[in-house]
Structure formats: C-alpha cells, structure tokens
Structure 1
Amino acid sequence: MTEQIHMSPTRAFKFNKNPLRALQDYNGEIEWWEGDNTPLLFGNIVHNLAEGRYMLDGFAEDDKASIISTRGKTKGDLKAAFADAVVIGGALRKYVEKIDPDNKAQFEVPIEEPDQVIYKTDDMSEGISQVLDGKIDYLLTGRADMVTENAIYDFKTVAPMEFDGLLKFGSFRDNREEEYKMQVAMYCAVFDIPEAHILYIKKKADTPFIYDYMLTLDDLHKGLEQVSQFINKGVLTVAGIEKATAINDGSKWSYEHFGGVINDSQTIEI
C-alpha cells in the first residue's frame, strides 16, 4: 500500500461482516449501500435540526431534488416521506438544549488519529522460519455527533416498531445496537471522555419519544476492545495481510457473487 489506510469504526464493521464486499467498497469498485437512501436523508435532516443547523445543510443538489416537491400546490415543500423529520428533529433539538443549556457543545466533531496495527508475520529471509512483529500505520477516522465537556452523544433515528422493540427487549433484531456502543466507546477513548450516551429517537411525529441510553462501564470496556479488533482486521485486509473472504450476507452483492446459489462451501451470514 502506498496510500495511507483510513479506517473508521463504521467501515470496520463492514470488514467484519463481509471482508471482500467491504474491500471493494473501500477501493471504490462497488458501493456497499444497495437500498433506497430515504432513511439516510431523513436521518440527516433530523441531525441537522437537532444540531441547530438548516435542515438541508450539506445536502447535494441531487438529494435536495429528491426531498423537495417541485410540482403542484406543494411545490417548494418537503415531500411527504420527509415531513415528519422536521417534527422529530425539533423534538431532539429541545432535548439537546436541555443537555447543553449554555450552548457549548460541539457537533459533527471529526476524528483523524494516527495509529498502528501490530501483527505477527513469518520471516524466511535467513533460511529459517521466524515469527516477527510487523506493523502498519493507518489513520483512525470518524465523526462524533455531539461532544460536551463531560460526555459523547450519538443520535439514532429508529422506526416505531423497532423503537418499541428496543425498549421491550433491550436490543434490535439485528443487534446493531452493539455496533453503536462500540462506535461511541471508541470516541470516548479518542476524546478521553468517560461518559457516553446514545439518543434513540422514535420516527413518529405525534410521539417522537427519545430513549437516552447511557453506556455502562462494561459497555465502554467491551465496546472498545471489540471495535479495536474489527479495526485491526479491516486495516490488515486493506493491506493484503488478511484474506478478503466473501460472505453470503443476503445482499444483492452476494447474490451476484455466488450466482444466486447457496451451498455448504460458502460462509453464510444472513
């Protein structure tokens, strides 16, 4: 590798799920995201409003065109799929103002920290096999939603049924809350801040409940350990030290890669 490797917790999660697909995404060959980007745009509107910015701040013109109505009586207004985002973003903004009444919080704080991965490698340069330490420099990247003097906050918009399930069972069906914890745990380590919260907000305009989940010390310790392992795996895969294995994760990518057929020789994770 001649270019410096960049690795964020979010990208590392992809390498943990499907190394080959993640590597192709990293190299710009095939994008990871396959679905409709409406939930992403909805979430971005909520984030902007919650952080005190104009709702379409940072949106590309193509994205604006898919959000704003251009015809009829609703011309210039948000399309129906995004109208609730204003209410939900406003509700989250009110909660943020309670957390940060003096308006001292920082939002969308970038992370760019030089780091290293140490790994074991076999050396045969002197005619005998020796296990030596190898190292790869990389740049740890990311972006924290909200940073105060005492805590890190991450915002997550959640569909109503999933939100209710999270409250009842303490997890999502796909267990993605564990990735959220890992991500925030890494941010706490980088900023040397001991407290972290994930603010889950229900995507329902008439009842935009907020679930303020404060990470436990166990969440922080386990999360940092796990995300560090995933980041190391991602860096080693990009560097070519670890094999980029293809995993049948049920995606369109997997359907095309495996020819639409599942057999016992595949690593399957659906």
Structure 2
Amino acid sequence: MPTKLTPENYYSVETDWDYMSFSRFKDFQRCEAAALAKLKGDWTPELDAKPLLVGNYVHSYFESPEAHEKFVKDHKSKIMSTRGKTKGQLKADYKFADVMIKALDDSELFNYVYKPGQKEVIVTGKLFGYDWKGKIDSLVLDQNYFCDLKTVDDLHKKHWQEDSRSWDNFIEDRGYYMQMAIYRELIKQTFGKDCNPYMFAVSKQAIPDKLAIDFTGESEALRMQAALEEIEANQERYWNIMMGEIKPKPCGRCEYCRSHKVLEEFVHATDIEVY
C-alpha cells in the first residue's frame, strides 16, 4: 500500500517513490537519467528558483491569507530586502507579483469561478494500474469543475514542438493537456465526480496579461485523450527505471547529461546535432 498523503508529506521523497505525478512524469520524458538522479537525491538541478517562488507567492495569496502569510514568513530572506532604503520591503520581483495578483483580483470572472473552490486539494488514484497523486488549486465539487492557476512569461509566445514540427502555445509546450487530464481522472476516482477543467493564467509582463481557459472543446478533448495514451505507453518503463529493473537512458543534452559527459571519440564536424 502506498503512503497515505497529507499536506505535510505530499512533496516528500517517500511519497515521490510511492506515487507518480505530472511533474515526475514530465521529468522522465525530458531525460530518464536526470529524473532518476533527481529522485534518488544524487543530483539537484541548477535552476533559477525565483520564477518558482514568484509563482508560489501568487498561488499562496489565492489559497488563503494564512497560507500567504506563512509563505512570506518561510521565505522572508528571499522575498524581503534586508539592507538599504528598501530594508523590510518586498523585493522588486515580489512587488511585481502583487501587480499580477491585482490583475486577477480585479477580474469578476476569476472571483466568481476560482475563489469559491476548496484550495490545494490532494487527489489520488490509479492510471493504467499505477498509483498517481495530484494537488488541485481550486476544486468546486458541487458545480463539477476545478481550476488551475498558472503564471507565465508571455501568454501568447509561440513554442516550437519538435514532435509535430510546428509552433504551438504554452498549454501544449508545458504539457498542460496532460496535467488537466490527470487531474480530472484523479478527482473522479477520489470523489466520484466528473469535473470540467479550467485554467486561469497571468503573465509576468510589465502590464500583466490574463486569460480564462477552458478545455471543453473537441480538439481539447482529443489532446487530453492523447496525453493519457502517452502515459499508458510510457509509464511502465519509468516505474521499472525507478525500481532499478531498467537502466535509464540519458538524453545527452540536458544539464545533468552535460555535467556527466565523457569524451570518448571524435565526431565529424558535419555530424554535430542541432536541436
């Protein structure tokens, strides 16, 4: 039996071994070797933590006043200025996060749809025989819908998709069709309710842009189904890698692979890969 999930252990290493999640699955899709090393604690990505903190700052505000106060207190050294004329004030990035918050707070649609929901709801279930976990930003069970909140650099920036050899938007680029399909299925298994997914997104531009996004069209339904089929086709391999039954395949391009690269032979100048 997998460990029972609570708000305290949801992000723990122990439960990461018991349950697959959207973020863990995407890690394995990007690079199996890096995903396993990260899961085992053998490697930590050299990521810029600021975008994540800004996003969590915005999320915590709409979770509850208590959650926001706790977030600011827990991350005070990174969020608040400690010297000069601005000592004790929010750093510039978080002052701007307050502008993003206001952009949503001033939206009647956002207030009507997102705010009434139960926040940070843990859901679990099985996808094609394996245990999964998820955490819902805002869940409104009595009206059969849920919402996810995203902070994005530019809502209308185009992203190149190597598989389809075409440009697409941030929803496709970041795998959000898959995330919404996962959450919908886990909600159904946890509460017995078939809920429609919605997303509110706010940009990190000087004057924030915002969108209310639904996934109810035929094209969206097809993409969400394709995402679930992608999980079915690949997750057994990922679980076997986690259990040590299959050796992970390095992508050869990511930060982890670059840091472990060993020169063993020459490559022709004309054979250098581009991606």
Report the TM-score, using the length of structure 1 for normalisation. Answer: 0.75
**Is contact 2:114-2:147 (8 Å) kept?**
no
Cα deviation for residue 164 of structure 1 reads 2.6
1:35 aligns with 2:31: no
3-state SS in 2 of match to 1:83: helix
- Partner of 1:147 in structure 2? 139
3-state SS in 1 of match to 2:262: coil
Residues paired across the two proteins, number: 235
**Is contact 2:128-2:232 (8 Å) kept?**
no
% identical equivalent positions: 26
The alignment yields a C-alpha RMSD, in angstroms, of 3.0
Gaps of 5+ in 1: 118-137
- Partner of 1:259 in structure 2? 262
Compare the two structures and name the one with the higher helix fraction.
2
- Partner of 1:13 in structure 2? 26
1:171 aligns with 2:169: yes
CA–CA distance in structure 1, aligned partners of residues 124 and 203 of structure 2: 31
**Is contact 1:183-1:227 (8 Å) kept?**
no
Gaps of 5+ in 2: 3-13, 160-166, 189-193, 268-272
What one-letter code is carried by the residue in structure 2 that aligns with 1:152? F
**Is contact 1:9-1:142 (8 Å) kept?**
yes
Query: Pairwise mapping of residues 1-270 of structure 1 onto structure 2 (< 5 A)?
Result: 5-31=18-44, 33-53=45-65, 54-58=67-71, 61=74, 63-93=75-105, 94=107, 95-100=109-114, 103=116, 105-113=117-125, 117=129, 139-149=131-141, 150-160=144-154, 163-166=155-158, 170-172=168-170, 175-177=172-174, 179-192=175-188, 193-206=194-207, 208-215=208-215, 216-251=220-255, 253-259=256-262
Cα deviation for residue 116 of structure 1 reads 6.7
CA–CA distance in structure 1, aligned partners of residues 212 and 53 of structure 2: 22
Cα distance change, pair 242–213 in 1 and its aligned pair in 2 (3 A): farther
3-state SS in 2 of match to 1:224: helix
**Is contact 1:69-1:76 (8 Å) kept?**
yes
**Is contact 2:126-2:186 (8 Å) kept?**
no
Compare the two structures and name the one with the higher strand fraction.
1
**Is contact 1:56-1:64 (8 Å) kept?**
no
**Is contact 1:199-1:211 (8 Å) kept?**
yes
Cα distance change, pair 194–115 in 1 and its aligned pair in 2 (3 A): closer
3-state SS in 2 of match to 1:43: helix
What one-letter code is carried by the residue in structure 1 that aligns with 2:147? Y
Report the TM-score, using the length of structure 2 for normalisation. Answer: 0.73
3-state SS in 1 of match to 2:123: strand
3-state SS in 2 of match to 1:164: coil
